[in-house]
Amino acid sequence: MKLGIVGLPNVGKSTLFNAITNAGAESANYPFCTIDPNVGVVAVPDARLDRLSQMYHPKKTTPAVIEFVDIAGLVKGASRGEGLGNKFLGNIRATDAIVHVVRCFDDENVIHVEGSTDPLRDIGIIDIELIMADVEMVERRIDKASKAAKGDKRFLHEAEVFSALKDWLNDGNSARSFVCDEDDRELIATSELLSLKPIIYAANLDEDGFADYASNPYYHQVAELAAKEGAQVIPVCAKLEAEIAELDGDEKKMFLEELGIPESGLDRLIRASYALLGLISFLTSGEDECRAWTITRGTKAPQAAGKIHTDFERGFIRAEVVAYDDLMACGTMTAAKEKGLVRSEGKEYVMKDGDIVLFRFNV
């Protein structure tokens, strides 16, 4: 699962990406940090895993990770191939969700391709390029479905749905906001449209007054638009994030305190990205390793066990589960057991975020 960092040129995408990769490099033993200069792997900050690790003092602590891709800046006309637009749009197509970086900082030394800071205009430019690229894809889909409908009437409906979607896109709307029933939504989801991908806005703010982002008018504009779309906006200062990512635990805490912010924007962005992908973590703990495992929301216990090892899924007997909060309230696993808070769950159990699990299996 990976997120594409998207936006106009010179909005701070690479600065943010470098901060992310740096944070990834800091986070211990992850081997893929440098798969590709444009792909970064980062640990998902998880205070629960940190606490577990303090309790168990394991030899190794392994966080959940996600991948970010630094996609080169899109410019006006990208969907018609301007500025290698087709290639960059293709890069976006290969991601599961989008982090749209919006320039909310003024800096005369950093050229703005459109000449001034104007977050809403900038978002509009990117949106239109994604939407126009989608129109092309949708047209091809309509052609295909119409041809198939000559032999098989079931494709008529498909052609109709995509035609309605095409009108919606041509009015300048994202596929994301297209209103239709569940079945049609699933049908549309088979088409890999760019403007259908889940999105988070990263408002890249000036370092001055970053702590007080709520009173920044640029931030407000992005926040208002995001609220209308039901999307999240995370305030970041790419420049500061890059500095913060170089610090270790205690230094980082002190620096954040000095800045007057409780958590780095990057950490918030990474957690929000994880949630945007529909991912949650369950935890395993022991003297050897404490670890956060990634599953999609709605995953049942045997499939979660399969993330650890296929044998665990094949020979699944049951899962012994304690909620993180319950374990913390009790202090130790033994105390949690005594209070009956360690539950025995079967094959149909739907995993919850923060479940601490021991799988019983037999192969």
Ligand X SMILES: Nc1nc2c(ncn2[C@@H]2O[C@H](COP(=O)(O)OP(=O)(O)O)[C@@H](O)[C@H]2O)c(=O)[nH]1
Q: Which residues bind Mg ion (CB under 5 A)?
A: 13-14
Strand pairing class (289-296; 60-62): parallel
Instruction: Decide whether 9 or 83 has the Cβ nearer to ligand X.
Output: 9
Map residues 193-232 to x or -, x wherever contact with ligand X holds by CB under 6 A: -----------x-xx-------------------------
CB-closest chain residue to Mg ion: 14
Using DSSP's 3-state secondary structure scheme, residue 105 falls into: coil
- Binding partner selected for residue 280 from ligand X, Mg ion, none, CB under the kind-specific 5 to 8 Å limit: none
Residue the block writes with tokens 């699962």: 1
Containing 240, the helix (H) or strand (E) segment is: helix 238-244
Q: Tell which one of 28, 35, 94, 110 touches ligand X (CB under 6 A).
A: 110
Are the CB atoms for 339 and 330 separated by under 8 Å?
A: yes
Q: Residues touching ligand X: how many (CB under 6 A)? A: 18
Crossing angle for the helix pair 265-276 and 13-26, to the nearest 10 degrees: 90
Amino acid at 341: L
CB of 127 to ligand X, least distance (A): 17
Using DSSP's 3-state secondary structure scheme, residue 293 falls into: strand
Tell me: does residue 15 bind ligand X (CB under 6 A): yes
Instruction: Decide whether 17 or 316 has the Cβ nearer to ligand X.
Output: 17
CB of 41 to Mg ion, least distance (A): 18
CB atoms within 10 A of CB 194: 26
| Contacts (CB under 6 A) with ligand X, residues 228-287 | 237-239
Using DSSP's 3-state secondary structure scheme, residue 297 falls into: coil
- Binding partner selected for residue 239 from Mg ion, ligand X, none, CB under the kind-specific 5 to 8 Å limit: ligand X
CB of 14 to Mg ion, least distance (A): 3
Q: Tell which one of 1, 26, 77, 107 touches ligand X (CB under 6 A).
A: 107
DSSP, residue by residue, 141-157: HHHHHHHHHHH-THHHH
Degrees, nearest 5: CA angle 37-39-41: 120
CB of 13 to Mg ion, least distance (A): 5
Region binding ligand X by CB under 6 A among candidate stretches 45-53, 102-110, 263-271, 320-328:
102-110
Are the CB atoms for 75 and 83 separated by under 8 Å?
A: yes
Amino acid at 22: N
CB of 11 to Mg ion, least distance (A): 9
- Binding partner selected for residue 251 from ligand X, Mg ion, none, CB under the kind-specific 5 to 8 Å limit: none
Tell me: does residue 13 bind ligand X (CB under 6 A): yes
- Binding partner selected for residue 238 from Mg ion, ligand X, none, CB under the kind-specific 5 to 8 Å limit: ligand X
Are the CB atoms for 362 and 315 separated by under 8 Å?
A: yes
Residue the block writes with tokens 């499939």: 303
Containing 2, the helix (H) or strand (E) segment is: strand 2-6
Binding site for ligand X (CB under 6 A): 7, 9-15, 73, 105, 107, 110, 204, 206-207, 237-239
